[in-house]
Amino acid sequence: MNTSTVELPDWLEIVVIPLLNIILALFCAGLIILAIGENPIEAVGIMLKGAFGYDEAVGYTLYYTTNFIFTGLAVAIAFHANLFNIGGEGQAYFAGLGIALVVLTLDQYLPALLLIPLAIAAAALFGSLWAFIPAWLQAYRGSHIVITTIMFNFIAASLMVYLLVNVLIQPGSMSPETREFATTAWLPFMHEFLALFGVTVTRTPLNLSFFLALLCCLITWIYIWKTRWGYALRTAGQSEAAAVYAGIKPKRIIITAMCLSGALAGLVAVNELMGVHHRLLLNFTAGYGFTGIAVSLMGRNHPVGIILASLLFGILYQGGAELAFELPKITREMVVAIQGLIILFSGALALMLRPWVVRVYLLMRPSAINAAAS
Amino acid sequence: MKLLGTLALLLTAATAHAADVQPAVVFDMGGKFDKSFNQGVYDGVERFKTETGIAYREFEVTNETQREQALRRMAQRGANPVLGVGFAQAPAMEKVAAEFPDTKFTIIDAVVDLPNVQSVVFKEHEGSFLVGVLAAMASTSGKVGFVGGMDIPLIRRFACGYEQGAKHVNGDAEVIQNMTGTTPAAWNDPGRGSELSIGQFDRGVDVIYAAAGGTGVGVYQAAKDSGKLAIGVDSNQNYIHPGTMLTSMLKRVDVAAYNAFKQAMDDSWQPGVQVLGLAEDGVGWALDEHNESLISADMKSAVEGVAKQIIAGDIAVHDYTSDNNCTY
């Protein structure tokens, strides 16, 4: 029997299978922790407490989550057009240049209310510009988007190193960084924002770009499922021939999808540069662009799934750091291995458990077999 | 202001007891086993642990935001003193140290101007001057080489001191310099280090000084393969290739790390800037059984004489970072 054609109820597909995958991953991670002589139950406890146990932990978890939502959405929107954008890293990096150019030029003249939207727009514009070139090459020259976006990551990295070391570096500074942005370009931190309403929380890097991320989820959902542009995008992604027959221009879809994808990835720079570091520095993207691929896969390319998957990765990043902090035997390399296992089981092996779940489901609900047969 | 500083100092001194020292160290992105700078700190804190039996907390940062987070978490946990490794941690320490005025912070390779921070910096140019003297005396071609890691002012300070040392002995000496790269990857690129060295050997260089972290390994290997001489950096690296390692410029980060913990334990920890040069034994040159055959009696007496003159102030070694320029 072909189990892949059986339709499962949503709660099995969205809740049970991902949960089983995570449990399996944690079990394997537990074996590793056991092998180095630590208690896996204690480790999971530390990880969860480190991610949720107190308000500072929650702040850090949500700060990482913000980045993953942006990159996850970026991968998802391209994925719906059947494009695999691996260049989120480079697009976010290049978007940082957009922010720096706008802010460093204008932060002495403009008030925050003008400067912040302008800088966010610059991030989105530069991000989509960096995605536009591979998109154009794919649409009009047939260069494969996976290859070109990967290569554009390297080009962005080299370009930024050159600019930061030779052009934008703050004179007299030891590390290649620009000068600090004026405070008018700083996105308010969450602890500052909540203080306005009399709520006191600990200082963390979490800032208002978290709301921007949630807003992007809503806009992406509306765009993909509730507009005719989104319809065209999904049609072109599922069948190019059908799209052409329906009068949709696939080349144009490739360009729009990639530009939107690049713009979303570029917003990582808003969180990192305008929200946290307040200057342009090397490697601020720290692999978020690549993790976005796993986030999107795990979230089934749906904004709600992406929020949940981003939260999981936020927990892994923040809880993982706490783990390395609390248990000396668990090094940072070990934390990466545990994160890797969870990505492997939830992303790459996402469908591994499905046939078994289907069998169990059919055993419980024999009536579904007829539906599957027809 | 001064009164406040003194007050804070008195308070910190009063609250610290030898018994409740809970040292912590935050390593930087290189990681504690980078065979270079971070590992020097690791050696120092390990020595403290074996000698006193006091365990320390540690953390290795993996991204930019974790520096501040790690320092703050250490302080929150009651760690005291907290040791930060490398100039990149300076902005983070500036924020965190201000939030925890009762915690002692020590930073290596950067200056943070707060009443509860001890900043330890080194006069790398003085140590480099000494190995420059040795390089010029060992060279038969009159051409000596320098391979730097990442092109930052700190490394140019090494290069500038070395150049002055070489020219001090031989006014006609030619110093050929190359930097490995402009990103942190330049600290760990032995292949490129070896390539640059061979390029310099082809131009007539016969002694190369590497101030390039893990990249140096490639430089030393190239020197061995071509039968030329190389000079190590930071730790004593003479043992790597006995016979072709002329000497090593010592930068005692291990001593700085050890002292920070030990002084906190003995209540002798002081905030402020500590500049460790030749006079303080913070920098120097290495002579051991691996390179004694390469250092003639003349060279030994010459370099010891120069060291005395530098300590006495008769020779002023120009510091590149004082004016971002190597004119002396």
Contact flag B87-A328 (C-beta cutoff 8 Å): no
Q: Which residue has the higher pLDDT, B118 or A300?
A: B118
Contact flag B87-A283 (C-beta cutoff 8 Å): no
Contact flag A205-B184 (C-beta cutoff 8 Å): no
Alpha-carbon gap, residue A274 to B73, rounded angstroms: 24
Q: Which residues does residue B283 pair with via DSSP β-bridges, in sequence order? A: B251
Whether residue A371 is predicted with pLDDT greater than 80 in this model: the reply is no
On chain A, the residues whose CB falls within 8 A of the CB of B58 are 328
Q: What is the mean pLDDT of chain A?
A: 90
Can you tell me the mean pLDDT for A2-14?
Answer: 75
pLDDT of residue A373: 53
Chain A to chain B Cβ contacts (< 8 Å): 48
Say if residues B109 and B155 touch (Cβ distance below 8 Å): no
pLDDT of residue A10: 76
pLDDT-derived band at A98 (thresholds 50, 70, 90) equals: very high
Q: Which two tokens stand for residue B192?
A: 């490129």
Low-confidence residues in chain B, pLDDT < 70: 1-19
pLDDT of residue A369: 59
Whether residue A232 is predicted with pLDDT greater than 90 in this model: the reply is yes
**Where does B124-251+296-323 sit in CATH, by number?**
3.40.50.2300
Alpha-carbon gap, residue B122 to B276, rounded angstroms: 5
Say if residues B81 and B264 touch (Cβ distance below 8 Å): yes
Least confident of A12-21, A265-274, B129-138, B223-232: A12-21
Contact flag A286-B59 (C-beta cutoff 8 Å): no
Give burial (CB, 10 Å; 0-12/13-18/19+) of A100: buried
Contact flag A161-B183 (C-beta cutoff 8 Å): yes
On chain B, the residues whose CB falls within 8 A of the CB of A283 are 64, 184
Q: Which two tokens stand for residue B220?
A: 């030393």
Strands B143-150 and B174-181: parallel
Contact flag B152-A174 (C-beta cutoff 8 Å): yes
Q: Which residues of B touch A (CB under 8 A)?
A: 31, 57-60, 62-66, 69-70, 73, 87-88, 110, 151-154, 182-184, 324
Determine the residue among B65, B107, B152 to mutate to test chain A binding: the one whose Cβ has the most chain A Cβ atoms within 10 Å: B65
Using the CB atoms, write b or e for A195-214: b if 16+ within 10 Å.
Answer: eeeeeebbbbbbbbbbebbe
Cα distance from B75 to chain A (closest Cα, Å)? 13
pLDDT of residue A372: 53
Q: Which residues does residue B100 pair with via DSSP β-bridges, in sequence order? A: none
Q: What is the pLDDT of residues B52-103, one digit of tens each?
A: 999 999 999 888 788 988 999 899 889 999 999 988 899 899 989 999 999 9
Alpha-carbon gap, residue B44 to B193, rounded angstroms: 27
Q: What is the pLDDT of residues B115-136, one digit of tens each?
A: 999 999 999 999 999 999 999 9
Q: What is the pLDDT of residues A128-144, one digit of tens each?
A: 999 999 999 999 999 99
Top CATH class of B2-122+254-276 equals alpha beta
Alpha-carbon gap, residue B106 to B116, rounded angstroms: 9
Cα distance from A286 to chain B (closest Cα, Å)? 6
On chain B, the residues whose CB falls within 8 A of the CB of A276 are 65
Q: Is the peptide bond before B81 cis (omega within 30 degrees of 0)?
A: yes
On chain A, the residues whose CB falls within 8 A of the CB of B88 are 175
Residue A337's contacts (CB-CB under 8 Å, 6 or more residues apart) are: A29, A32
Q: Which residue has the higher pLDDT, A7 or B282?
A: B282
pLDDT of residue B327: 86
Q: What is the pLDDT of residues A302-346, one digit of tens each?
A: 999 999 999 999 998 999 888 888 888 888 888 888 888 887 887
On chain B, the residues whose CB falls within 8 A of the CB of A325 are 57, 59, 70, 73
Q: Which residues does residue B174 pair with via DSSP β-bridges, in sequence order? A: B143
Residue of A nearest to B324 (CA): A172
Sheet holding B272-276, edge to edge: B57-60, B24-27, B82-85, B105-108, B117-122, B272-276
Q: Does A321 touch chain B (CB under 8 A)?
A: yes
Using the CB atoms, write b or e for B167-177: b if 16+ within 10 Å.
Answer: bbbeeebbbbb
pLDDT of residue A356: 84
pLDDT of residue A1: 55
Q: Does A175 touch chain B (CB under 8 A)?
A: yes
- Helix and strand tally (H, E) in chain A? 17, 0
pTM of the entire predicted model: 0.82
Whether residue A113 is predicted with pLDDT greater than 70 in this model: the reply is yes
pLDDT of residue A282: 85
pLDDT of residue A336: 84
Determine the residue among B59, B68, B69, B77 to mutate to test chain A binding: the one whose Cβ has the most chain A Cβ atoms within 10 Å: B69
Alpha-carbon gap, residue A36 to B18, rounded angstroms: 34
Q: Would you mind telling me the total number of residues written for chain A in this entry?
A: 374
Contact flag A321-B66 (C-beta cutoff 8 Å): yes
